[in-house]
A = this chain, B = another copy of it.
Amino acid sequence: MPREDIAQFTIRSVQVLAEDGTVDEDLAPSLSDDELLDCYEAMKRARRLDERAISLQRRGELGTYAPAIGQEAAQVGSAFAMDEDDWIVPSFREQSALMVRETPPQQILEYAMGMEEGAEIPVDEHALPPAIPVGTQPLHAAGVGWGEAIQESPNVALTYFGDGATSEGDVYEALNFAGVYDAQTVFLCQNNRYAISTRLEDQTAAETLAQKAIAAGIDGVRVDGNDVLGVYRVVSEAIERARDGDPTLVEALTYRRSMHTTSDDPSVYREAAEEDEWEARDPIVRFQVYLENRGLLDEETKATIDERVESEIADAIDRVNAARDELDPADMFRHVYAEQPPELERQAAAFERKGDRDG
């Protein structure tokens, strides 16, 4: 042998809907007009919820909130690619995807108001709650995808995480477990170029994040994350492969246009010029041009959608405010164990009596 090339790998990137709103017809997914409009509406809803949430937070009515403005194509496109029984395993920025999966905006706001109610999973809904620790949930998704494989179910798990998360050992372990166990899992990395203030070049020397799949011996692919049709297509393909036990890491290249969370000020670490550049590449604008060009979206339809979204969110805000007022703090004792152990019972009683005897 002396010197021999023994393995070769290629990372491919996909774009279906170009920045100018034109589409590659060969690659365009076959979505009906209604589906395309649903997709558009979901992106608008997500954007609007984020905007409202930011202003509620500014008025002190909400806690820390992580908007996904600019990432709607990556989230909505991928969530649309899932079947109803597929699992969503989100991080803390996935409101756009969660709403496609029919998490009501009320729950998202509840969570942002610091209420566990916002992380309740309805019976039969295949979802896990948002994971706050970066990079932990891909392992859960590997477990779900493995569990479904063990049970010979067709369901797959789709998990979301960021560019920063790829530095966590857990994410690598998740990819590796998925590879070993033929887990029915799709790993969607939204590379929005920042982990809070940290730029990609301080995160890894890897030129793409998709190539992290190679370490685990699974497929890796990049897609333009601001191209909702491209994301839909690539994730759909990945989901189909996952149903057969072949996991994929999809890197969706996008940009977080607003702050990391409402506690963050991006002007500290990035230039306005960069933000402007990405404003021009906004995923909603691009998709809108495409829909307009196809004659699917006129001013009236747009207005109807905007109004519907606006009133849904307004309703949600009313409902969550009401829910907050009825919050029972003693609830914190109720779900620690299936059955309350005596010591915890004692503590709960002490809490109710207040001051009689401490916890």
Question: A269 CA to B149 CA in the complex, in Å?
Answer: 26
Residues A172 and B215 in contact, CB atoms below 8 Å apart: yes
Given A169-B169, A215-B214, verify A16-B2 contact (CB < 8 Å). Answer: yes
| Interface flag for A336 (CB, 8 Å) | no
* Interface stretch of the complex, out of A104-112, A205-213, A349-357: A205-213
Q: Which residues of B contact A2 (CB under 8 A)?
A: 14-16, 24, 26-27
* Interface stretch of the complex, out of A153-161, A216-224, A322-330: A216-224
Residues B1 and A13 in contact, CB atoms below 8 Å apart: yes
Q: Which residues of B contact A11 (CB under 8 A)?
A: 5-8
Given A2-B16, A10-B8, A27-B3, verify A203-B180 contact (CB < 8 Å). Answer: yes
Chain B, residue nearest A26 (CB): B2
Residues B168 and A211 in contact, CB atoms below 8 Å apart: no
Question: A5 CA to B213 CA in the complex, in Å?
Answer: 15
Question: A176 CA to B180 CA in the complex, in Å?
Answer: 22
| Interface flag for A339 (CB, 8 Å) | no
Residues B9 and A8 in contact, CB atoms below 8 Å apart: yes
What's the minimum C-beta distance from A122 to chain B, rounded to whole angstroms?
33
Residues B208 and A180 in contact, CB atoms below 8 Å apart: no
| Interface flag for A12 (CB, 8 Å) | yes
What's the minimum C-beta distance from A129 to chain B, rounded to whole angstroms?
22
Residues B222 and A204 in contact, CB atoms below 8 Å apart: no
What's the minimum C-beta distance from A222 to chain B, rounded to whole angstroms?
7
Chain B, residue nearest A1 (CB): B15
| Interface flag for A63 (CB, 8 Å) | no
| Interface flag for A167 (CB, 8 Å) | yes
| Interface flag for A179 (CB, 8 Å) | yes
Residues B211 and A212 in contact, CB atoms below 8 Å apart: no
Q: Which residues of B contact A207 (CB under 8 A)?
A: 7, 217
Chain B, residue nearest A209 (CB): B215
| Interface flag for A202 (CB, 8 Å) | yes
One of B6, B10, B201, B206 near A12 (C-beta < 8 A): B6
Question: A242 CA to B287 CA in the complex, in Å?
Answer: 47
Chain B, residue nearest A247 (CB): B205
Q: Which residues of B contact A213 (CB under 8 A)?
A: 215
| Interface flag for A310 (CB, 8 Å) | no
Chain B, residue nearest A14 (CB): B3
One of B168, B206, B222 near A214 (C-beta < 8 A): B206
Q: Render A181-215 as a binary contact track against B, CB cut-off 8 A, 1 for contact.
A: 00000000000000000000111111110111111
Starting from the known contacts A8-B10, A9-B10, A180-B205, 20 additional A-B residue pairs (CB-CB under 8 Å) come to A4-B13, A5-B13, A6-B11, A6-B222, A8-B8, A9-B9, A9-B211, A167-B173, A169-B172, A172-B172, A176-B204, A180-B201, A180-B203, A205-B216, A206-B214, A206-B217, A211-B214, A212-B215, A215-B215, A215-B216
The 8 nearest A-B residue pairs measured at CB: A169-B169, A179-B205, A205-B217, A215-B215, A206-B217, A172-B172, A7-B11, A212-B215
Task: Name 27 interchain pairs, CB-CB below 8 A, sorted by A.
Answer: A1-B224, A2-B15, A2-B16, A3-B14, A4-B12, A4-B14, A5-B11, A5-B13, A6-B222, A7-B11, A7-B207, A7-B208, A8-B8, A9-B214, A169-B172, A169-B173, A172-B172, A172-B215, A176-B206, A180-B201, A180-B203, A180-B205, A205-B217, A205-B218, A207-B217, A213-B215, A214-B214
